[in-house]
Chain A
């Protein structure tokens, strides 16, 4: 960061306007979340009305079988898709940062597409793909189709985070290790991996969050009663809102905030820039 040639802080009324704007932006970001948390403890059948404090909705959440099943499904899918995408994404990052090979440019572009493509488009792609594939292979939709789709977008996010980390590390360390008779595997295991570990961890946590949060793509490729938690909650919202949804939302919110927080923290270990 170039602090020496940075832009100097403005003064006077201009500075106060900028400051006010910044605080308003943060209020805009966080106030709705805070209000949602508050209302999740409200003892009133209407979702946006305060009626005294209660934990009833959380209790109901803990006793709701469909929600618990959906939560279990979400966790299974997230665990599977994260594991695969961390391995593939890290390898892709290493290949792109450390090697030149034929088709590298195309691969690089292909890897960026899942990040910028709108959810809906990717959902349509996966729906039609699995519809066509099922004609040939005859599998049923559910765990496998959801997991395969989640991997398809997670690889990109993992590789971006790991690449950012790799770009800041020195290739010479690995060369030095091999000069000292480390095998290629040893150099990777004891030199490269530890240095990129924050990126791998951060990318993995991000993949976990994205998988746990996805609604649109999952909704398109699910089948056989395989609801994930967000898809189930989305269905509930469309049917008619109950305070139970407030409680479930808060749990989802806390989980995803904690995961993202950990991911940012992991990426910053020993001075990385968060992606």
Chain B
């Protein structure tokens, strides 16, 4: 509106509808120009690569480990039906689910407690969740490697408690532990955001009307915090499925997950089309989950 009063062409300074429209067009154009550099960048360096992955997934691996792109076929997707691949897929889904459930069970009471504290305390609590959230992922996994190793502190404590020398490293439990450690903040943050918005008087009203603590949780708190539960579950499940660093450091040969399996296709097996097909499946899962989330009235974080 301001540009109007300053630049109105009419002598009397009254904005005509034509001028309004021209101004509106100009403003849209300016917004587009401002978005353009990032827009073009992401189209070229994100959207195009994404398309290339999909194209590769229909290609063929030659005997020399190169990829033949002409002659589209579904061979790579057919490989998904093989026993070994199914094993990896089921194991990934199972471990990712387990990770998600553990995170949910730990994070829900944590987020709830955080939401009940004073603004000052909860901000502090939030900051101390954010710090591990953003700090070096590799190092945080490596820390568990040190702790869970043969002579490491975990084994010592287990020995002291009478369990005998225990080596958790290179087991599925170690991988799940590492995943929970890495992705727990992804669960806490959306849960907290959802619970914090809930009007506490609704909970009090349900109690006043004779609901037990559990009933009030089950019928009031949980439904109202559902967007947070869904968002957190997606944010933990998807990266767990695609995890590569954690199983690589903490897992053994029998803990190949989808993420590590994809990496193997590119860095050692050199079956690019199959790796691309697996990536496409992972992306499709992610997109489906995101769409479900937004359909169910979730909001962006």
In the complex, identify which listed stretch (B8-16, B76-84, B158-166, B242-250) lies at the interface while the others stay far away.
Answer: B242-250
Structural contact, B144 and A152, CB atoms closer than 8 A: no
Q: Interface size (B, Cβ < 8 Å)?
A: 101
In the complex, identify which listed stretch (A52-60, A64-72, A118-126) lies at the interface while the others stay far away.
Answer: A118-126
> Is residue B146 within 8 Å, beta carbon to beta carbon, of the partner chain?
yes
Structural contact, B37 and A237, CB atoms closer than 8 A: no
Structural contact, B142 and A245, CB atoms closer than 8 A: yes
Q: In whole angstroms, how far apart are the Cα atoms of A21 and B106 in the complex? A: 8
Among candidates A35, A123, A127, A230, residue contacting B136 with C-beta atoms closer than 8 Å: A230
> Is residue A28 within 8 Å, beta carbon to beta carbon, of the partner chain?
yes
A residues in contact (CB < 8 Å) with B: 1-3, 5-10, 14, 17-19, 21-22, 25-26, 28-30, 32-33, 35-36, 39, 46-49, 87-89, 91-92, 94-96, 98-104, 107, 110-114, 116-121, 123-129, 132, 148-149, 151-152, 155, 159, 175-176, 178-179, 181, 206, 209-210, 212-213, 215-216, 220, 230, 233-234, 237-238, 241, 245-246, 249-250, 252-253, 256-257, 260-261, 263-264, 274
Q: In whole angstroms, how far apart are the Cα atoms of A249 and B145 in the complex? A: 12
Name the B residues within 8 Å of A132 (CB-CB). 52
Structural contact, A152 and B45, CB atoms closer than 8 A: yes
Q: In whole angstroms, how far apart are the Cα atoms of A262 and B115 in the complex? A: 24
Structural contact, B130 and A113, CB atoms closer than 8 A: no
- 7 A-B pairs with the lowest CB-CB distances in the bound complex, closest first: A99-B31, A118-B242, A48-B152, A129-B49, A95-B35, A125-B49, A92-B38
Structural contact, B39 and A103, CB atoms closer than 8 A: yes
Q: In whole angstroms, how far apart are the Cα atoms of A264 and B134 in the complex? A: 10
Name the B residues within 8 Å of A123 (CB-CB). 263
Name the A residues within 8 Å of B56 (CB-CB). 128
Name the B residues within 8 Å of A117 (CB-CB). 283, 286
Q: In whole angstroms, how far apart are the Cα atoms of A91 and B286 in the complex? A: 27
- The secondary structure that dominates the A interface is helix
Q: In whole angstroms, how far apart are the Cα atoms of A8 and B205 in the complex? A: 12
Minimum Cβ distance to chain A for residue B169 (Å): 10
Structural contact, B137 and A120, CB atoms closer than 8 A: no
Interface hub of B28, B199, B242 (most chain A Cβ within 10 A) = B242
Name the B residues within 8 Å of A206 (CB-CB). 134
* Residues 92-147 (chain B) with a chain A CB within 8 angstroms: 106, 109-110, 112-119, 125-132, 134-140, 142-147
Name the B residues within 8 Å of A159 (CB-CB). 38
> Is residue B181 within 8 Å, beta carbon to beta carbon, of the partner chain?
yes
Q: In whole angstroms, how far apart are the Cα atoms of A233 and B266 in the complex? A: 20
Q: In whole angstroms, how far apart are the Cα atoms of A22 and B213 in the complex? A: 20
Among candidates A88, A252, A261, residue contacting B139 with C-beta atoms closer than 8 Å: A252
Name the B residues within 8 Å of A114 (CB-CB). 42, 46
Q: Mark B271-298, 1 if CB is under 8 A from A, else 0.
A: 0100110010011001000100000000
> Is residue B175 within 8 Å, beta carbon to beta carbon, of the partner chain?
no
Q: In whole angstroms, how far apart are the Cα atoms of A206 and B146 in the complex? A: 27
* Residues 1-57 (chain B) with a chain A CB within 8 angstroms: 1-3, 5-6, 27-32, 34-35, 37-39, 41-43, 45-50, 52-53, 56
Known contacts A47-B149, A101-B35, A261-B131; is-contact A88 B41 (Cβ 8 Å): yes
Name the B residues within 8 Å of A213 (CB-CB). 135-138
Name the B residues within 8 Å of A118 (CB-CB). 238-239, 241-243, 259, 282, 286
Q: Mark B200-211, 1 if CB is under 8 A from A, else 0.
A: 110110000000
Name the A residues within 8 Å of B152 (CB-CB). 47-49
Structural contact, A47 and B238, CB atoms closer than 8 A: no
Q: In whole angstroms, how far apart are the Cα atoms of A25 and B102 in the complex? A: 12
> Is residue B262 within 8 Å, beta carbon to beta carbon, of the partner chain?
yes
Name the B residues within 8 Å of A29 (CB-CB). 128-129, 132, 181, 184
Among candidates B112, B132, B151, B244, residue contacting A216 with C-beta atoms closer than 8 Å: B244
Structural contact, B134 and A49, CB atoms closer than 8 A: no
Structural contact, B134 and A101, CB atoms closer than 8 A: no
> Is residue B75 within 8 Å, beta carbon to beta carbon, of the partner chain?
no
Structural contact, B300 and A36, CB atoms closer than 8 A: no
Name the A residues within 8 Å of B43 (CB-CB). 110
Structural contact, B143 and A33, CB atoms closer than 8 A: yes
Q: In whole angstroms, how far apart are the Cα atoms of A98 and B32 in the complex? A: 11
Structural contact, B242 and A33, CB atoms closer than 8 A: no
**Nearest residue, chain A, Cβ from B137:** A213
Name the A residues within 8 Å of B197 (CB-CB). 2
